[in-house]
Chain A
Amino acid sequence: MPSDAIRAALIERLRLSSAIADEDIKEIEALPISVRHYPAETAVVRDGERATDCCLIADGFCARSKTIANGKRQILSLHIPGEIPDLMSLFLHVMDHDLSTLTPATLGFISHETLQKLHRRRPGIAELFWRDTLIDAAMFREWIVNVGQRPAPARLAHVMIELRERLRVIGRVDGGNFEMPLTQEQIGEALGITAVHANRVIRQLRQEGIVELNRGRVTVLDERKFQELADFDDRYLHQSPTL
């Protein structure tokens, strides 16, 4: 993958949400990034590990999760190209959850040292990345509300619409059609239900003519019903410098 393709989604995202300055884009384009390829369902950095780099997703899907003593895993967030899901490791030195790939992924690692120097030299970029981690926190708040309060079909619809609105920014939505490469078990782990219950919910949404999930792709069947069910308000994604 050419080096500008590795940064392309990140720059697209920062342009939209934060109105990044042209000089700062040049700085990001010049960042030394070491690229590694990961297979699907592989740990990138584990709970308890000390991170020395931040990881920019160039291609593929990742998830952050935490596993409790009885072995049950809660998926905390989904991540797509252009995101740096462990940006907080720059200041929080030991990981308090896992970051792993969902699909085969191309990841670009930027050393903490490089990022610290960049932040000191370009305060505008520091502010941008600060905002990015705050948006990350806003998404966690919404995830808690979703898992804690919505019925399971609405939970799934909400996670789907959020993913779609984030994929849209990096040009990865094809009409009413987008990627959501999670197994039923992983959907269960994201929604706080068992795999069999997740299967039941996916069937229900298809039978009611709302949305179809097939082999990791979502097809919206009825946009109005989909929005209504999800109770989705995109404000918390702050996808504009004025939000």
Chain B
Amino acid sequence: MPRFHFDIHEDSRLIRDEDGQNFASVDVARKEAMLTGASIAREAFVAGSADQVVVDVREDEHAPCLKISITLEVEEPADG
């Protein structure tokens, strides 16, 4: 079973995932990465600690095989 690592970027801060986790397939890892990114983004956006969350998924020490990026965009129309 391949071992995947999810490195998390919150704005410019990086947390490398040293441990990694086994997933049956890239597809399962992709879903887990989305859940992870979305749930970290939800908290970071509400807390105001970051506007962008990126999850880099890599197999062991290889280059990332998947990148998920979630960005907060808030528009406040001036005449609204």
* A interface residues (Cβ-Cβ under 8 A, vs B): 151-153, 184-185, 193-197, 199-200, 203
Contact = CB atoms under 8 A, between A and B. Distances in A.
Contacts of A193: 39
A196 B41 CA distance: 13
Contact of A194 (B19, B39, B46, B47): B39
B43 interface: yes
A199 B39 contact: no
Given A185-B21, A197-B36, A199-B19, A152 B43 contact: yes
Question: For this complex, into which size category does the number of interface residues on chain B fall?
Answer: 10 to 19
Given A194-B32, A194-B36, A199 B17 contact: yes
B10 to A, nearest CB: 9
A195 B40 CA distance: 11
Given A151-B46, A151-B47, A197 B17 contact: no
Given A151-B43, A151-B47, A152-B43, A194 B35 contact: yes
A153 B8 CA distance: 17
A184 B18 CA distance: 13
B28 to A, nearest CB: 9
Nearest to B40: A197
Given A151-B47, A193-B39, A194-B32, A200 B8 contact: yes
Nearest to B24: A71
27 contacts: A151-B43, A151-B47, A152-B39, A152-B43, A153-B43, A184-B19, A193-B39, A194-B32, A194-B35, A194-B36, A194-B39, A195-B21, A196-B6, A196-B8, A196-B17, A196-B21, A196-B32, A196-B36, A196-B55, A197-B36, A197-B40, A199-B15, A199-B17, A200-B8, A200-B15, A200-B40, A203-B15
Contacts of B55: 196
Nearest to A203: B15
Nearest to A185: B21
A203 B17 CA distance: 12
B44 to A, nearest CB: 10
